[in-house]
Structure 1
C-alpha cells in the first residue's frame, strides 16, 4: 500500500515524505494532502514526526562518529554527511569503508546509499540521484559526475526548481553553462551558491555532532599557522592537557580525533586509534605527528581541537615486582603504530573456534583481543600452513581406508613414502541438511623428497552420498 507522511507547512497540511509505491503513483513531498487523497483514496496517511526523525539521525550520526570518522553532521531530513579524510585508511580504503557502512545499515534494517566525493554538495547529489548505490567519485571528476543529475540534486527550494523547469532546464550540466547574472537577477543567489558548493569553488561549513561530554582541549591562534613543524609543536602542547583530563577520570583513550579549523571555513581531521586504553603522552603525540603529512592547511589553520572521541577505564593492575616474575612484554605500542599505518582491519590474529572442519576452526580477532579459553584440537597434528581453499589432486589408494600410493598436485607427481591416518571428520549436521551425511578422511603423508602434506578424501570411500570420493590437498606441514 502507498504510504505518505503528512505535516503542516504554514497553514496547510501537505505531504512531507512518501514511500516508493507512492512515488511511483506520482506523489511527491510538498503536495497538498487533500489533493493526494482525492487522487488516490486508498493512500495510507500517517502523521510525520520530524522531531523523532531528527533525534534518530543524531543518534545515527554519533554511532558513525564512534566507528567511522570524527566529522559527522546531520544532513536532514534523511542523510548524514561525513568528512572521512584522514580516517578512511583505518577501514581499508574508501570503497571498503562504504561497503561496510551500507552493510551495517542493512543489518539494522535500513536501505542506504553511500558516495565519496570531493564536496558535500556533490556527495549529497550523487547519493540521492545517482544510479549506483555505492560510488567513489575520483578527485577532479565532480563536474562530469554531476552533469546528468536533475537540478533537484542541488538542494534548491521547490519554487526555484519549478521556475527552472518552466525554462526547460532539468539537468545540472545545463544549469552550469548558463550565464549567472540573469539567473541571479531572476532567482536570487541560491543557484550560484549551490553550484559553487557542489563544484568546490567555495567552502561549505560542516557542523559535526558531539558525543556527550567528551574530554577535549583546544587552542586558538592569533595568526593562522600552516607549517608542519608548527602543527607538531602545538600537538605537543595539547596532548598533555588531554592526558590530564583523562587521568582525572581514570580513563585512557581508544580513539583520538584532531580537528583543524582553517580560515576558509573548512575542517581537516586526523583520527588515530589504539588497541588498548592509552594515556601515554609520548605515544599519542607520536601517533598524531605521523599523520601531519595528510593535512592540507590551505590558507592557514586558525584553531585546533583534540577530542578523545572514545575513552575507556584504564587497567590499574598492580605492577608485579621483577624479583617475583618477569613482566609481560608490552607490544601495544607496536600494534598501534602498525594499525594506524595499514588500517585496523589489516592487523589481526587468529583465534580458535569450536569446529572439527579445519576451515571453520579459526576466526580473525583484533591483535590484542583477550585470549580465548578454547584451543585447537591436539589429538591429531595440524599443518603449519592451511590452504585458503582445498586444491583437487589426482590420487590412487589401494583400499578405501588406506592412504594414496601417489598423488599429482599442480602438475607434479609425488610418490608417498609413508603416511598416517585416516582421521575422519564429519559435517556439522546442525547447520544444514546437506552436511548430515558429509564425511572426510584426512591423511598425513610424506613423499620421497621428505615433504609432508595433508590430504583428504571427500567421502568415506564407499558411499556416494558422503562425498565425491575425490582427493584434495588442504595443508602443508613445515
Structure 2
C-alpha cells in the first residue's frame, strides 16, 4: 500500500487587526487607517493598512504622531471583531478540507490546510489555491496562499510572498530553491539571533541553508539545526488539526454611539452579507437571525427574526429586522451589535407546466411584520385551541409555520368541520316546550329547532374546582327563508342568560 504524498496550503493574512476591522467597514477600505492599542493617552499603532503605510504611518507610533499625518483614520482594536473574523476564515478554509491547523499570532492570521486527496473535488493545487483566495477575498480579507509538501515551507513562502502573485505552488522536491531568495524575517527570529546572522552576513534563507550543519550546531545548538532545516524546507512537522465549530456569527463595536436606526441597518447589512456568503458556501440558508445590541448603561436589547422559510435574500432580512426594531426599539444609544444566525435548508418549489405563478413567501413575511407592528405580535398568527372547558378566550395565537409533507398528507385524510367563534357572543332568545327546545330567536329571525345535543357542563380548567355555572348545547335549526343554522349555545346558569358563542360551517 503506497503512502499518500503530503500536501498543504498555507493561508497568511498580515495586519490582521486592521483587516478584521475593515472587513465590516467597506467605506474605509480605500482610506489610510491605523489600529490603536493601549489605554489613553498611551495608545500606539499595532496594525495598519497599505495606504496608511504609504502615508507615513508605522508600527509603534503614538496618537500624537499619527494626528500629524494627513487624512488618517484611527480605529480602536477590537478583540471581538478579530475573533469573529478568525472564525469566518477558519470556516472558509474548512469548506475545502476538514483538516486545519491554526498558527495565528497577535498580528497575523496563519492557517494550514491539509489538501491531500482533494484534486478530484477542486482540481489542481493551483486551482484550489485560487478558489480559496477568491472565497477569502469575497469575505473582505486580503491574503497570500502557498502550497507545498512541507508545512513550514508553505508558511515561510506565504509570509514572504507579494500581493501581486497571491497564490504560489512549490513543485515537489523544490522547497529549497523556492525559499532561497526569501528574507530571514519570515522566520520571526528573536532579536539576538537576528543580530547574530546579520553580523555573519546572512540575510536570506538560501545563505542560511548553505551553512555547514556541524559548525552551525556548535555555535547555536540544536536550534541552529532547526533553523537550517526551516531554510531548506526539510523540517518535519506533526500535523495537529483543530475542529472549529460552525457558527454563523458576526460582531462589531461601533466607533461612536448610534441612535439612528438607518445607520444601524447600514452596518447590519454588511454583517448580513458576510453571514449569507458563509451560509451559501455550505449550500445552506439563514433560518433565523438574532440581533443583540449593547446599549449605554450596561444594558442589552436582543431580538430574533424568523421568517416562514429559510432564505438568503439580504434585502428581506434587512426589511424584517427594520420592522422588528421599529416595533421594539432600543431604549438607549447603541454601542455594539452582534448578529447570530441559525442555518436551515434552502427551499425549492417545483411548479407544474400549467400551474400559475405563486407569490414569493417573503412577501407574506414582510406583510405580517407590518401588521404586527400595527396591532401587536400577540394578535398576528393562527389560533390554537387551549386544553380548557372555558368558552371565554379558549385559544391563543401563535406564529405561522410551514407544515411538513407528512403533516399535510395526514391533515387531508382526516378532515374536520370548523366553528367560527363570535366575539363578543350574541344574545339569543330560547323557547322551550315540555323541557325541549322548540325555537330560537337569533338576529331578529325565528328558527325552528330540529335537533339539539347537550347539555355539557362547562366552567374553567378541568383541574380547578370552580362552580359549573354554564351549560353548552349544539343546535341544528332551520328558518323558512334561510339556510340551515348550526350553532353552539351557552346558558349562564347564574344569570339565566342564553348566548350564541359560535357558528358551525
Q: TM-score range by the shorter chain?
A: 0.3 to 0.5
Give the structure with higher Rg (CA): 2
* TM-score, normalised by the number of residues in structure 2: 0.37
**TM-score, normalised relative to structure 1:** 0.39
